[in-house]
Chains A and B, each alone.
Chain A
Amino acid sequence: MEQPRSVSGASLSPRSPSSPPFLSISVTDPVKLGNGVQAYISYRVITKTNFTEYQWPEKFVIRRYSDFVWLHGRLFEKYKGIFIPPLPEKSAVEKFRFSAEFIETRRQGLNSFVNRIASHHELHQSEDLRTFLQSDEETMQRLRSYETGIFIKKPADLMQIFKDVQLKVSDVILGKEKPVEESNPEYEKLKHYIFELEAHLAEAQKHAYRLVKGHRDLGQSLSDFGKVAKLLGACEGYTLGKVFSELGAKSETLSIRLQKEAHQLLMNFEEPLKDYVRAVQSIKATIRERANTCREKGELAETMKLKEINLGKLVLALSDRVGEAEIEYNESKAESEEATRRFETIVRRMSDEIVQFQEQKTLDMGIAFHEFAKGQSQLANSIANAWRSLLPKLEACSFTQ
């Protein structure tokens, strides 16, 4: 279902130096497909770009959540040390899997995900990203099932999963990672910071969730109160009855306003907080990778040392297996150096990433606070205005006693 669309008007030649490079993606149009248990949501992913590596300047494809999971996994494998942008929540309570709110928050989350990748100085060059954005659906499906099918796990992957579980368990028990061979106090501080931060953020998010619910509940109780006030008004005489009716009407209006605010709070405050938590979890995953790589580096360095010693012995003994040993040693040395390079890449990337992370989060939270405050202030104003408008009627009552 490829639909190559040319940019209206000019055809795009290899990137003209005058126009800045851009890659803009939007995830839109959630549609429910399939039946019963197999039902799922598909999204339209529209890409506009002038990168030469991309086959089409404008393209849209249909993707589902597990495709995004595939992309995330690939990037995590290939770009160790980089904090891969987090995906929105994996599972949902069955009941809400197709609720409008859940679909919308997931769509936004997926949109953020791809756009963050596109704006990352290294990640945007990823071939897997290109595949994701431009392959046809069959190719995508094939790739997805190859990577995520349970019966195709490679033994190394299984080992990795086991190690991950181990580490997760120790996370829980010790409250932090098992100490690894890195002796870098700054890095230790960072790890400690990340683990603590997650706890703090989780708590804040919990309260944010309750606050959203609180708005909904207050709205509901105002609505109920309004109805009852109207009934009470029906009992009363003319003027007093009218006031009760009006009170009831205002209550109901405010109830609707509160429901709206609850939704805004969810989208503009709770979701960003959840996103923050997920970002921290992504950093934790990177920390684990770094630890693994460090360990590997250590192990391979050990092995190389042993081979070197062995070689030395054989040389001294004038053995005829020196050649063999030398080859082994060289291989081992290459592996060790490679591991060291990988490790150093991770270290380098992480130190850049952490700066970016902090700045981005300051911005994200600043926006979140701003929106929150705006929303609350406007809500309070609406409430004040609604109730204030009743006062003239109340005054009028006193004169018709």
Chain B
Amino acid sequence: MMGSENQGFEEAHPLVSREEMETLVLDDPSDHGGSINSNSYSNYRSATSSLSDTTHHPLSPPIVVTPADSDPLLAPPPYRSTSANDSNSYIEPPSYADVIFSPFDESSVSEINGVETNSQNSDSSLVFSRSPSSSSDYIKITVSNPQKEYDSTNSLVPGSNTFTTYLIATRTNIPDYRGSEFSVRRRFRDVVTLADRLAEAYRGFFIPPRPDKNVVESQVMQKQEFVEQRRVALEKYLRRLAAHPVIRLSDELKVFLQVQGKMPLPTSTDVASRMLDGAVKLPKQLLGESNAVVAPHEVVQPARGGRDLLRLFKELKQSVANDWGGSKPAVVEEDKEFLEKKEWVHDLEQQLSNASQQAEALVKAQQDMGETMGELGLAFIKLTKFENEEAIFNSQRVRATDMKCFATAAVKASRFYRELNAQTVKHLDTLHEYLGLMLAVHGAYSDRSSALLTVQTLLSELSSLNSRTEKLEAASSKIFGGDKSRIRKIEELKETIRATEDAKNVAINEYERIKENNKSELERLDRERRADFLNMLRGFVVNQVGYAEKISNVWAKVVEETSGYGREST
């Protein structure tokens, strides 16, 4: 080791920076002069296997006796007593150090939807499946290639009508989609439209929330950074949509992903113009010229956000009556189970928020460890070079050798910490994802409550219409032969009542439908959450075990090489 040790340091510059540390060639017998990357860790394996060949490794921890020793799916710890095994340790089942995803592994859970494919995971049978069916369907969406484009119309102010489009590429084998690979260019406004159309069409579902408009950020941030941030957010959003078993088959999504050119979905209009339309309609409604009853097709949408101001006012009145009025409305949220679930969801959200925060803190702490370890290693590499250059006494050369051994290990360990962390981030990301999902749950619950409000409003209206009718009939019956004007009014009222009944029935159907959607979505949430959390935990734990083993091996080598000093220490 003495002779070749200096070779690796030809490149070690006293001022070597972090980037250089990445490419530092560390001369190490088990590396065969190669740089530390994933293929050299197979050399590690052989090094550790040969380590466990020795009759008694001075540092072997007490053998972990778990009942799973008989479980073929569970790999035993790397330091096995030789009495339990043969001399050829290459036949041993791999330790968790080998199960770890390579640093460039892309097959994480969120990417390939409906299917858990962890190709490098030797224990793939253990990955918990999210849904019982559709195990071979997939949609893979990528967002890339942002480009600036110009709006040729409306160029009143030159240069103001530029916008960015993104290339959205899809690969799928779902038959509903015509074709298996296609791509379109879309701008952010199209995504907003998609989100709005989905919100209308899929009330009661847990629809993943779309990325924010980020009006402030888009002005303040550097263009490139902002565009990249948005690209990432869009990709995540579309993938979440594709992961939803119902939404992935929706027309809206299909159109968005497939139809070339300008997006054919009707665009959303802003609040102001909607209000304006509503304000125009209102006088007519009040005067009875325009329809005062909600049309059935409008009933299925919430009042808020629509153009019917009259309806808005009525429902507002109803909700106030619900809260402050003496009598209970006719239909009330009675579903106890739902109410309990709602509480639970609230609690879950709270815990997820905390967990998400602590996960971030944990990741940061792991990051710091890795960085500091690396810097410590670097400092000693500099020292090694220094001592070697200035050596007068042999004790200095010996020290330089020791330092190098130590420094090499520290740098390796530092890399492992960083890889560990990259994986940890991926696994614990599930927490952040589910926190985002809570927003979707809120959306679904508010769909439900606004549908209920519509029903309640219509019921109140019906009851007041009926009582007016009764009063008129009573008054009219007192007049012999009937009261022409009153009779006409009664006819009109009855007409209105019929229309309102229709609307009420539609509203009730809608409400029930939304309730069903809520229920099925909650069930799906339960199922998928269990599977996702179990996967997250398993991934996290396996990751920790694997990297801890690797790091332990690194230092065990140093212990060996400095074992002479072990006798001296107190």
Contacts and interface: CB of A to CB of B under 8 A. Distances in A.
B552 A398 contact: no
A361 B399 contact: yes
B77 A369 contact: no
Nearest to A378: B59
A388 B534 CA distance: 15
- How would you classify the secondary structure of chain B's contact residues: helix, strand, loop or mixed? helix
Interface string B376-417: 100110110010001011011011001101100100010000
B383 A372 contact: no
B64 A373 contact: no
A196 B387 CA distance: 10
A221 B74 contact: no
A120 B157 CA distance: 87
Given A240-B530, A385-B64, A395-B68, A366 B395 contact: no
A232 B64 contact: no
A387 B368 CA distance: 21
Interface stretch (B231-239, B349-357, B440-448, B478-486): B349-357
A110 interface: no
Nearest to B69: A392
B541 A390 contact: yes
B386 A197 contact: yes
B364 A221 contact: yes
Nearest to B390: A193
B9 interface: no
Interface residues of B, number: 77
B379 A200 contact: yes
Contacts of A341: none
Contacts of A240: 530, 533-534
Contacts of B77: 384-385, 388
Contacts of A208: 376
Contact of B396 (A362, A371, A377, A388): A362
- How would you classify the secondary structure of chain A's contact residues: helix, strand, loop or mixed? helix
A280 interface: no
A309 interface: no
A348 interface: no
B332 interface: no
A244 B534 CA distance: 9
A1 interface: no
Given A361-B399, A395-B73, A384 B344 contact: no
Interface in A165-202: 189, 193, 196-197, 200-201
Contacts of B372: 207, 210-211, 214
Given A193-B390, A207-B379, A384-B548, 6 more contacts: A196-B390, A225-B358, A229-B355, A366-B399, A391-B545, A395-B126
Interface of B: 59, 61, 64, 66-68, 71, 73-74, 77, 96, 126, 128, 344, 347-348, 351-352, 354-355, 357-359, 361-362, 364-366, 368-369, 372-373, 375-376, 379-380, 382-383, 386, 390, 392-393, 395-396, 398-399, 402-403, 405-406, 409, 413, 530-531, 533-534, 537-538, 541-542, 544-545, 548-549, 551-552, 555-556, 558-559, 562-566, 568-569
26 contacts: A210-B376, A211-B372, A215-B369, A218-B366, A218-B368, A221-B362, A221-B365, A225-B358, A228-B357, A228-B358, A232-B354, A235-B347, A237-B530, A240-B530, A247-B541, A359-B395, A367-B565, A372-B406, A372-B558, A373-B559, A380-B551, A390-B537, A391-B66, A392-B66, A394-B541, A401-B531
